[in-house]
């Protein structure tokens, strides 16, 4: 049974058809590279999976059950986590505070609950160790390198047992060495059976880490094939429209 299944999803904004009849299925532990030019419908698709938009047509199923979300927070309850392009970190808070933001662990009785710093530091420390990151839970995010910040954003997806992680351009604005770190993090998540949708403009990243590549053009899916059976040249052609459809 596929983990996530999109069937004939369309999204219209008035007369604009941002997505047209797109179907996609994802298996656990699979990394899918989602590619396409600006305005091809990548972010619309991600926002639909993340619960920001409701599709105009079509159905979504998560582990065989119907998925219908009204607010982004609901996506989390279904095991879908998003790593935002800007990472959505608060510079003035510690790494642990960022990891647990919106899901703080508290202790106490009834309405008198206080933040459980010790548990959050410990859990964050375990997650960073699991991600083989040197990030320290008590350090302020302001003082961190690009790679460490990525680790904090990715650590968030590990608090709840995420089954699917959407990553929006995680390697867009970081150094070469840090790109390698991030790709390693993606492999770590994959090895734990988590499915990943990697939205990226960078061909080398997709071809080094993804199992499948999906190309969108003008709201339509024009390719969905194993990376082993494709090539950067073909994908470039599909993105620009030089190649109409993948074989």
Partner 1 sequence: MDIQFDDEVKRARFPLLAWLTSRQAFWVLIAVCVACIFLSFATNSFATSNNLFNVTRNFTFVAVIALGMTIVIITGGIDLSVGSVLCLCSMILAVVMHAGYSIEVGIAASLGTALLIGAINGVLIAYLDIPPFVVTLGMLSIARSLAMVASNNTVVFQFGPDHDKLLFLGGGAWLFGISNPVLYMLALTLLTGFVLHFTRFGRYVFAIGGNEHAATVTGVPVRRTKVIVYMISALSAGIAGVIETGWLGAVTTNLGAGMELQVIAAAVIGGANLAGGIGTAFGALIGSALIEVIRNSLGLLGISAFWQGTFVGIFIIVAVTFDRLRNFGFQRD
Q: Which CB sits closer to partner 1, 168 or 234?
A: 168
Count CB atoms within 10 A of the CB of residue 16: 10
Closest to partner 1 by CB, 105 vs 188, is 105
Please tell me the distance from the alpha carbon of residue 40 to that of residue 54, in angstroms, as a whole number.
18
Cβ nearer to partner 1, comparing 81 with 234 = 81
Interacting residues toward partner 1 by CB under 8 A:
72-73, 76, 82, 84, 86-93, 97, 101-104, 106, 113-115, 142-143, 156
Residue carrying structure tokens 């808070």: 93
27 or 104: CB nearest partner 1: 104
CB of 131 to partner 1, least distance (A): 18
Contact 102, 94 (CB under 8 A): no
Q: Rounded to the nearest whole angstrom, what is the least distance from the CB of residue 89 to partner 1 in the complex?
A: 6
State the minimum distance, in angstroms, from the CB of residue 244 to partner 1. 37
What is the nearest approach in angstroms of partner 1 to the Cβ of residue 212?
27
Cα separations (Å) of 25 from 7, 105, 139, 191? 8, 34, 39, 19
Query: Contact 47/53 with Cβ under 8 angstroms?
Result: yes
Q: Give strand pairing partners of 112.
A: 109
- Tell me how far, at minimum, the Cβ of 54 lies from partner 1, in Å: 18
> Could you please report the per-residue DSSP string of 112-171?
EEEE-HHHHHHHHHHHHHHTT----TTSBGGG--HHHHHHHHHHHTTTTT-SEEEEESTT
**In this complex, which beta carbon is closest to partner 1, that of residue 10 or of residue 145?**
145
């Amino acid at each position: 049974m596929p983990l996530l299944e999109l069937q004939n999803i369309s999204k219209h904004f008035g007369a604009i058809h941002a997505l047209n009849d797109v179907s996609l299925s994802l298996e656990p532990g699979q990394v899918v590279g989602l590619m396409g030019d600006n305005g091809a419908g990548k972010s619309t698709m991600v926002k639909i999976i993340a619960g920001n938009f409701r599709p105009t047509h079509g159905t979504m199923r998560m582990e065989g059950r119907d998925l219908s979300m009204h607010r982004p927070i609901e996506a989390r309850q279904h095991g879908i986590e998003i790593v935002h392009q800007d990472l959505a970190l608060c510079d003035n808070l510690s790494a642990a505070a960022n990891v647990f933001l919106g899901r703080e662990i508290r202790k106490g009785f009834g309405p008198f609950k206080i933040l459980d710093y010790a548990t959050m530091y410990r859990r964050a420390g375990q997650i960073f160790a699991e991600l083989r990151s040197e990030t320290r839970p008590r350090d302020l995010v302001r003082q961190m390198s690009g790679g460490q910040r990525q680790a904090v954003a990715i650590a968030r997806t590990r608090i709840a047992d995420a089954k699917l992680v959407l990553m929006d351009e995680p390697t867009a604005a970081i150094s070469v060495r840090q790109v390698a770190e991030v790709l390693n993090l993606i492999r770590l998540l994959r090895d734990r059976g988590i499915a990943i949708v990697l939205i990226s403009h960078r061909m080398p990243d997709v071809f080094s880490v993804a199992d499948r590549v999906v190309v969108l053009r003008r709201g339509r899916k024009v390719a969905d094939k194993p990376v082993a059976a494709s090539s950067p040249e073909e994908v470039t052609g599909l993105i620009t429209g030089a190649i109409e459809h993948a074989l």
